[in-house]
Structures are given as structure tokens and as C-alpha cells.
Amino acid sequence: MQSDFRDNNWENSSFDWLHLLGRHLPIVLFLLLAFVGMGVVYWFFSPPEATAEMIAATSSSSLSAPIYKPIPAKPVLQRLAQSPGPVRIGLIAGHKGSDSGAVCDDGLTEAEVNLNIAEKVAGALLAQGIHADILDEFDPRLSNYGGTAVISIHADSCVYYNELATGYKVAPSSRTDSLVLQSCVETAYAQATQLPYHANTITPHMTDYHAFRTLPEGVPAIIIEVGFMNLDRNKLTTDADLPAAGILNGIQCFLDSVQ
């Protein structure tokens, strides 16, 4: 009886294993195929023995690859130094678009004298290929005027004071360095007109000229009183080419200095 019981247990156990194997046969087959596949891959990619020995004998330095640090390329913004922009000269014809300025007994106005000289200077500049703008006294373009230089042209009183009321004077902007422009125009104007320099009548209206405060900083600017409309009248009217030449030569001197 004991032997029969053991046989029955063994048969039952075998049946359980076979039943369990039958239930999980797909998993068993998958694992079996996976192990076989890994063995095939390992065999296929393993180097021959001689090759393995050569690799082992090679120094580690020869196996190391150079390390490159990627550096992003910077865009080339400008290969050459920027050249200066085109020359542009602003000529304020004193009192133009505002009022007459000083008036002589016969009706000659300062605004007429100023505009006549400004037009002669502008014409000569344009003939040389230099852009020139004739601006009003309170021209709206002044606040954004990106010119190379600005010269405001005015004339002095037509009233006779004495024999010393003759000559010209120049005041530079205090907001932008305008000393080179001032020096060039003063020297050239004296040579062209032979008028004396009348420094003792430079007024706060010249030194604190409204256009100096309106123009963008960086634009050299001066105001010139080209002469007295009484004793210097002929040079300002009949011989207006002389004061025009003086201003023109001063501008050319300035441009030669800054270019």
C-alpha cells in the first residue's frame, strides 16, 4: 500500500509540472530563444583571438579619441571699420521763417542779408558735391538734424553807433566740441572779408543760442554775425560773395580737419 501511494504522488507531481509547463510554454520558448539569440550575437561580434590580443596590446593613448570643444560660430557683423556717413552741412539763415531781424531805414532786413549769404554758401557746397540744407531759424528738423556741422548766419544792427561798429564775431556751441569749426571759420572769414573781429559785442543770445540747445549732441555748431548792416553793408550786400567765401572756406577747413 505504501508503494502504491508513492507511485500515485509521483504521477500527480509529474502531471502538475507538465500542466505548469504547458501553461507557460510561450514564456519558456521566448526565454530559450532569447538566450540562443544573445549567444549568436556575442559569437558574431566577438573578434578573433589574435585580434583581441592585438587590441589588448595597444596602448590606451592610441585608443583615446581627441576631445573637441564645440564653439559656436559668431556672426560677422562688420569686416571693415565703418566709414563716416556722407557730409551734410546745415545753414541756418537767421530769422528765416520767423521774423525780419534787424531792419534798416530803407527797408533792408537782416533776414534778406542772411538768406542771400546762406544761399551762396549752399550753392557752392552743392557744386562741390557736398549736401547742404538751408534751415529756418526755428526749423523743426533741428532736433533730429544729424549733420556734419551747422552754421547759423546772422548780421548785426543797421544802427550807426560809432566808427568801431564794424566787423564780425563767432560763438561756438557749448554742448558739443565746436572749437575746430569756430577756429576754421574765424580765420577763413577774416582772410576773405578783411573785416576785424568784434569780440566785445558777443552776447548771451549768441553763446546760449537756442539752436545749440535744440540740435542733437555731437553736432558741431556755431553762430556767426557776418558784419554790421551799417558800416559793413556793401560787403554784406553788393559784395556778398566775400562773406559767403569766408564761410565756405571755413567749412572746407573744418572738413579737412575731421576727415
Query: How do residues 215-253 score in pLDDT, each as one tens digit?
Result: 999 999 999 999 999 999 999 999 999 999 999 999 999
Report residue 74: phi and psi, to 5°.
Answer: -90, 135
Q: Which residues pair with 134 in a beta bridge?
A: 91
Residues near 90 by beta carbon (within 8 Å), at least 6 away in sequence? 132, 133, 135, 142, 145, 147, 149, 150, 151
C-alpha cell at 258: 575731421
Q: What is the mean pLDDT of each run of 10 residues along the chain (259 residues)?
A: 50 58 68 73 61 52 53 52 74 98 97 98 97 98 96 97 95 95 98 96 94 96 98 98 98 94
125 alpha-carbon distance from chain centroid: 26
> For the chain, which domains are there?
2-54 (no CATH), 88-258 (3.40.630.40)
pLDDT of 74: 54
Sign of CA dihedral 206, 211, 213, 218: negative
In the chain, the largest separation of any two C-alpha atoms, in whole Å, equals: 162
pLDDT of 76: 45
Give this prediction's pTM: 0.69
C-alpha span between 35 and 15 (Å, rounded): 27
pLDDT of 14: 56
pLDDT of 75: 53
pLDDT of 73: 59
